Structure formats: C-alpha cells, structure tokens
Amino acid sequence: MIDVYTKKIVGYHVCDNMRAQANIKALNMAFKNNTPPLIHHSDRGSQYTYKGYIQLLKDKGVNISMALSAQDNAYAERINRTIKNDYLEYWKPKSFCELRRLIKKAVNQYNNTRPHNSIAKMTPVEFENKWFGKSTFSKPFITIFNNEVNV
C-alpha cells in the first residue's frame, strides 16, 4: 500500500495467495504506523471487496474508492513493478523466507533512499517528515488520475 501524496509504502504483507487476510495484515500495518487515509483506492479484486476488509476501512472512517479495472490503479501497479524490477530482480531471492526478508529491505530502501521528482527530489520519508513536521515549505499539489467508483 502506498500513500499517493508522500509516495511512501505504508503497508505490505508477503503471502503465497491472493486471499483477503494478507491484505488485511497490510492494511493493519498501514493503520498502525500512519494516520488513517482519507481515501483508500484499489482495484475490484476479491481481497478488496471482502466484507471484513471493507468493514475495517469503514471502522476507521476511510472513504472507499475502487477502480473500474486494475489498469486504473496505476499507483499500485507502478510500486509493484518498481519493487520487482529495481530490487528483487537484482537480489534474486531463492526462497519464500528470503523473499519476505528482501521485501522488507526493499520497502526500507524505497522509503528512505529513493528520491522522487514529484516530491522535490526527496525520499518519501524526508518528504513526510517535512510535511508533518514544523518545517514550512511549499507543499506540492498533485493530481490523481483514475476512473473510479465510490463504494
């Protein structure tokens, strides 16, 4: 899960299936370490339409937005591609256990060392610290593009 504004990966869980429980774990990680988002945008995969997942979002007061197709959730698709191509292809995990360890490492590196042009060439953590900190700086305006249906 990514915070679209800060570009920070806020939740993840490595699993060998596409069931909702893995996504619930990632969502709980995001809630534990971050302020609940105003909007949760996803595709219409069964793990995101699962009653328990939807209820967790509603309990936190999160507005739910679902793309009409997976291609309409470009932010999530992009972060998955980045982790796969820029980190895992290089490290080549040899086991599921190693994959979990390397995903954690990739997320840490992505959040703490990878600058983004769209956030003034800062890393997601640097940008978040300035955004939430007492530092005053011109916060960039971003436009989020998608075709969505609110639930």
Could you give all domains of the chain from N- to C-terminal order, each with its CATH number?
20-150 (3.30.420.10)
| CA 65, chain centre distance (Å) | 14
pLDDT for 32: 92
73 band by pLDDT with thresholds 50, 70 and 90: confident
pLDDT at 2 over 80: yes
> Could you tell me if 36 and 43 are in contact, meaning their C-beta atoms sit under 8 angstroms apart?
no
DSSP state of 122: B
pLDDT at position 104 is 98
**What is the predicted pLDDT for the residue at 56?**
96
Of 51, 3, 4, 60, which is closest to residue 28 (Cα–Cα)?
A: 60
Report the residue count for the chain. 151
What pLDDT is recorded for position 137? 57
* Residue 80 tokens, joined: 């998955």
pLDDT confidence band for 136 (50 / 70 / 90) = low
Q: Please state the pTM of the whole predicted model.
A: 0.85
- Whether the pLDDT of residue 69 is over 90: the answer is no
Q: How far apart are the C-alpha atoms of 81 and 86, rounded to whole Å? A: 8
Q: Average pLDDT for residues 40-56, to the nearest whole number?
A: 94
Cβ atoms 124, 7 nearer than 8 A? yes
The pLDDT value given to residue 146: 55
The pLDDT-based confidence of 75 (bands split at 50, 70, 90) is confident
Question: What is residue 141's predicted lDDT score, i.e. its pLDDT?
Answer: 65
pLDDT (average), residues 2-10: 93
> Is the pLDDT reported for residue 135 higher than 70?
no
What pLDDT is stored for residue 70 in this prediction?
65
